A and B are shown apart, each in its own frame.
Chain A
Amino acid sequence: MPASDPPDFEALASALARALALPVTEETLPGVAMNLALAYRLAPAFLDFPLPDTLEPAAIFDPRANPVAAP
């Protein structure tokens, strides 16, 4: 889960851009940082939710509870 004390998102975005070789410039940094901050604000909603350790995501998601044969 993200830190409760929000980081400096421009500094974080700048450091990650360097580490990941992403083309973030001085001009684009504020927009990237704003979107990064939004993700950090939203993510705890599901990161904090208790889930069993054994629960797995499906490789190809199937929304049906009991799939039936297709025609």
Chain B
Amino acid sequence: MTDWTHESGARIAAAVQAGDVTARSVVERHLDVIEARNPLLKAFTDVTAGRALANAERIDARRRRGEALPPLAGMPFAVKNLFDIAGLPTRAGSKINRDRPSSESDATAISRLEAAGAILIGGVNMGEYAYDFTGRNAHDGHSRNPHDPERMTGGSSGGSGGCVAAGMVPVALGSDTNGSIRVPASLCGLFGLKPTYGALSRGGSFPFVTSLDHVGPLARSVEDLARVHDAMRGRDPRDPACWGGPVEPLAPQIETGIGGLRIARAGGYFTRLASPQALEAVETVAGALGAFQVAEIPEAERARAAAFVMTMTEGAALHQERLRQRIADFDPEVRDRLLAGAMLPGAWYHRAQVFRAWYKEAVAELFRQVDVLIAPATPVSAPLVDQRVFTVDGQDLPVRANLGIFTQPISFIGLPVAAVPVWPAEGMPIGVQVIAAAGRDDVVLRVARHLERAGVCTSRVAG
């Protein structure tokens, strides 16, 4: 008998369409898993069971009437709790925000996914105000990695990674400012899509660094990433940076293979401070793609530094009044970073933005010579939940600030990335970034799907 909590969203939707299973029974089974596993894993912070069951009933009724169902009919999904859910305060991982009034409407992403038949199951845990790479949360408890609950999920979309890896939902939405989709995808053994900046609407989501904020899905299959992306795309007046995404939907393109693509490994910065496991994962993926060329992303280390300063400054500007009014209610680790950010010179921020304009053109030039770059997603696999430092190449690096050293230079200029999971013979998975030129989200998913079909990159439910 099929356990629908181990299936992809696409398989679930096809089965609901065909009448092989009801949307209600799919939702009930996922709610059972949440009830059983969430007390340990701390993935969900809000379960919208009543809403989910009512939506499932509506889909089942439409099928009984013989109506054609929308493409994601019956697919459960969760959202990082910075997305507005009507009737709930938008926590954004904080204690402070839960005193705000409940949201009157859903985020654009939720509305669009529900219009496509997907069923919202609830909001999930995250690092406070998304200023995090670990999945730790001082208020709701730390997200725990379903593949080893002693280890972290990565963050800040920690609950998004945890709930998909645990089989609580097949797909969850996260946000990615400096790596917050790609880091948990890497540590939880999932596929993740950080789309081109502005491709998917952030309307109705709580911001962190608007110059760098993206939203996107984490899933156990590439097809689910593509189908969810396609349901979410389109312009949105609620997000001034949203240009609407690629003209053509991605799902029909993912099976077109990698023929003709020029693929290279990212050298230099992306090989330093990477653990042997991270380098081996890149070798495995590069080998499967026939990527023997090495290309250097120019000035990536400077880009990471500029992203770091922009993040501190914009984050501090956003939260300055909350720091003055509610200092005791912040997670201490986030509080100290925000306070320091409020002290940085304005000229640094401006310089970082000007550097960004230069870097964008320099990297665009590189993408005239290659179509795809392969790089590690994280320097190490999942550290222990309370681990403060990891060691690479003899250097001790603080976990919180450094899990994103390879993701920051890429999101800094908004390039599309698919994080793909690589499993060692034993132990925890680690992710690899598949990076393309801005607007070529189709290319990163074609490559990811090729790797998935070849069995090089796979995802599975833990336990």
Partner of A47, one of B323, B351, B413, B439: B351
A58 at interface by CB-CB < 8 Å: yes
Chain B residue total in the interface (Cβ 8 A): 57
Complex contacts, B439 vs chain A, CB 8 Å: 63-64, 68
CA distance A28 to B144 in the complex (A): 28
Which B residue's beta carbon lies closest to that of A35? B340
Chain A residue total in the interface (Cβ 8 A): 41
Complex contacts, A13 vs chain B, CB 8 Å: 339-340, 343
Task: Looking at the assembled complex, report how far the CB atom of B157 sits from the nearest CB atom of chain A, in whole angstroms.
Answer: 21
Interface string of A4-48 (1 = CB under 8 A from B): 000000001100110011111000100111111011001111110
Which B residue's beta carbon lies closest to that of A50? B358
CA distance A61 to B413 in the complex (A): 8
Most interface-central of A38, A63, A67 (chain B CB within 10 A): A63
B234 at interface by CB-CB < 8 Å: yes
CA distance A61 to B357 in the complex (A): 9
A60 contacts B336, C-beta separation under 8 Å = no
Chain A residues touching B, majority SS: loop
B336 contacts A32, C-beta separation under 8 Å = yes
A22 contacts B339, C-beta separation under 8 Å = yes
Chain B residues touching A, majority SS: helix
Task: Looking at the assembled complex, report how far the CB atom of A33 sits from the nearest CB atom of chain B, in whole angstroms.
Answer: 8
B351 contacts A28, C-beta separation under 8 Å = no
B309 contacts A43, C-beta separation under 8 Å = yes
Complex contacts, A33 vs chain B, CB 8 Å: 340
A3 at interface by CB-CB < 8 Å: no
Partner of A57, one of B299, B323, B350, B401: B350
Which A residue's beta carbon lies closest to that of B365? A65
Task: Looking at the assembled complex, report how far the CB atom of B63 sits from the nearest CB atom of chain A, in whole angstroms.
Answer: 29
B141 at interface by CB-CB < 8 Å: no
B244 contacts A70, C-beta separation under 8 Å = yes
- CB within 8 Å of A: which of B206-221? 211
Q: Which residues of A contact B (CB under 8 A)?
A: 12-13, 16-17, 20-24, 28, 31-36, 38-39, 42-47, 49, 51, 55-58, 60-65, 67-71
Supply 20 A–B pairs (Cβ within 8 Å), ascending by A.
A13-B340, A13-B343, A23-B323, A32-B340, A32-B343, A33-B340, A44-B305, A45-B302, A46-B306, A51-B351, A57-B353, A60-B240, A61-B211, A62-B198, A63-B197, A63-B415, A63-B439, A64-B243, A64-B438, A70-B245
Q: Rank and list the top 10 A-B pairs by shortest CB-CB distance, nearest first.
A: A70-B244, A63-B414, A31-B336, A57-B353, A35-B340, A45-B305, A63-B438, A42-B305, A16-B343, A46-B306
